[in-house]
Amino acid sequence: MTDPLISRLKHLIVDTLRLDGVTPADIDESAPLIGSGLALDSIDALELVVKIEKEFGIKIGSSEESRQALASINSLASFIRARTAG
Amino acid sequence: MAGSNASGKVFLKACECLTPFGQSAETLAALLRGERAMQLRSVLGREGGDAVPIALLPGRVLDETAPPSWMEPVRKLLAPVNAAGWGTARRPVFVTSSNFGAGNMHAFRRSGDEAHMKYGALVNCVEWLREQLGWQQNVTIFSHACVSAHLGLLQASRVVEAGLADEALVFSFDFLSPFVSGGFHALKILNADFPAPYMNRATGSIGLGDGAGYAVLTRTKGDFSISAQSMYNEMHHFTANQPDGAGFEACLAPIAAQLAGRRVWLKGHGTGTLDAGRMESGAFAKAFPGAPLVGWKGSLGHTLGSCGLVELAIASAALRSGRTPGTIGSGAPTFTAEVALEPFANDKFDGVICASNAFGGAHAALLLSHA
């Protein structure tokens, strides 16, 4: 069964970044988001961070934290869970 | 990849800057004392937001005004050289910035107040500045992110060296606004931490600062000379550096080739970001082994497109005084052993290499020495 957060994040990425020809189902949750994998660039990352902060009400504190969170869909989900837990 | 070099010699007839500490002499004195100009301020000015390190001119607020609150300080800064009649065929002006009036454009979008548009667009802003300062029409605008001032210096040097002008005025100004600080904050490189240039730590951060500066270049005598300039654009990625640091090295190579045994100290870009700090300090250590490296953005913040001129004026003041400020805000461990944390005497050195770097792998460096 698909993790609802993972599914939500995939949709959010496709919608926010308006990825042509990519559907949520095409995204491998363990593949890198930046560079290889989905091949997002730094401007995509900026848009994504702003959207995630707004959507989940969390703060990403530094570019290093941003890079860590955006390593993959799985790491992004873990990051969000850790920040929204409790 | 693209490079651009000038190997001729031009003189600095005058060179001055404006920072939150004052002009170059006051700024140098504050840096030698290890003072930090930045304070934690709301990133969006009166609209609030996270507290981030920002350095503003005394009495200035981050929020935009119409007319801009920076005009009077700029007028005072330029007063000693502005009576000479600039903007003519033989006395051109080169204006550089990475902001111009971007904050006013943002203010117009938010408020609908058309008064802001006079300063908001790049050409409008410089035209207004030209009228305010009484310059004629020979005013050229350059903007290339954080190497903007270096680009203006290089082009002005070429014009002067070629005999196309008697003197050239290079003027750069970058004053902060919520638009600019908010943008860097969204990138997460402007965060709650004060910058620690070249320090090997877990999280990087920059700070931002108001700044302006000018240089009058001539072919004849001045106290200081610029005897080599280099600019290099990696063309690797539109925001990122080539990961192996080759772009930093490529920019420094033409300067190193012209040193001919002269001893130099190094004024680096050193914003406080980790990747660029590591690559920059590594490239310096490779090209100029043992030469002490300092960066001043841990105090002044990053003055963006103007940093090359602001820090050139401070480096000139340091050469004049014989003392070089250390890398304020930083600490051990540093990326390389050459990073100087404390002030040092520079009278045994023959000059200083001043470098700046920008988004998208753009690099610039010049050699400044006593004439």
Q: Secondary structure of B124-178 in the HEC alphabet?
A: HHHHHHHHHHCCCCCEEEECECECHHHHHHHHHHHHHHCCCCCEEEEEEEECCCH
B351: part of which helix (H) or strand (E)?
A: strand B351-358
Percent of chain B with pLDDT over 90: 91
Q: For residue B2, what is the enclosing H or E element?
A: strand B2-6
- Strand-pair category, B211-218 with B323-324: unpaired
Helix (H) or strand (E) holding A75: helix A73-84
Q: Rounded to a whole number, what is the distance in Å from the CA of A29 to chain B's nearest CA?
A: 24
pLDDT tens string B252-265: 999 999 998 899 99
Q: What is the pLDDT of chain B when averaged over all its residues?
A: 95
Cβ separation A64–B204 shorter than 8 A: yes
What letter represents residue B6's amino acid?
Answer: A
Residue B165's Cβ-count burial label (10 Å; 0-12, 13-18, 19+) is: buried
Q: What are phi and psi of B97, to 5 degrees?
A: -175, 160
Q: Which chain B residues touch A46 with a CB distance below 8 Å?
A: 186-187
Which of chain A's residues have a Cβ under 8 Å away from the Cβ of B205?
Answer: 62
- The alpha carbon dihedral of B189, B193, B196, B199 has a sign of negative
Q: Residue B113 has what pLDDT?
A: 94
Mutate to test the interface with B, among A58, A62, A65, A79 (most CBs of B within 10 A): A62
Strand, coil or helix: B249:
helix
Name the strands in the sheet holding B51-55, side by side, starting at the edge strand that comes first in the sequence. Answer: B39-42, B51-55, B208-209
pLDDT by residue (tens digit) across B117-137?
Answer: 999 888 999 999 999 999 999
Separation of alpha carbons B140 and B94, rounded Å:
5
Residue-level pLDDT at A1: 67
Q: Which two tokens stand for residue B64?
A: 């935009």
Q: Given CB atoms, is A1 within the 8 Å cutoff of chain B?
A: no
Is residue B1 predicted with pLDDT exceeding 50? no
Whether residue B362 is predicted with pLDDT greater than 50 in this model: the reply is yes
User: Considering the entire predicted model, what is its pTM?
Assistant: 0.92
Element (H, E) at B366: strand B362-370
Q: Which residues contact B185 (CB under 8 A, 6 or more apart)?
A: B43, B49, B50, B52, B191
Evaluate whether ipTM surpasses 0.85: no
Structure tokens at B336: 């390389």
Q: Say if A72 is an interface residue toward chain B (CB within 8 Å).
A: no
Radius of gyration of chain A (CA): 12
pLDDT at B192: 93
- Token pair for B240: 């990122």
Each as own residue / partner, the long-range contacts of residues B347-350 (CB below 8 Å, 24 or more positions apart, any chain) are B347/B322, B348/B263, B349/B263, B349/B264, B349/B265, B350/B262, B350/B263, B350/B264
Look up residue A74 and give its two tokens: 């799985």
B203: nearest CA partner in chain A: A64
Q: What single-letter DSSP state applies at residue A34?
A: B
Q: What's residue B344's pLDDT?
A: 98
B141 by Cβ neighbours in 10 Å (0-12 / 13-18 / 19+) ranks as middle
Which ranges constitute the DSSP H helices of chain B? 24-32, 71-82, 102-111, 117-120, 122-133, 148-161, 178-186, 246-257, 274-287, 297-300, 307-321
Question: How far is it, in rounded angstroms, from Cα B64 to Cα B86?
Answer: 28
Instruction: Write out chain A residues lying below 8 Å of B238, CB-based.
Output: 41
- Predicted confidence band of residue A86 (pLDDT cuts 50, 70, 90): low
Chain A's closest residue to B205, CA to CA, is: A62
pLDDT for the residue numbered B237:
80
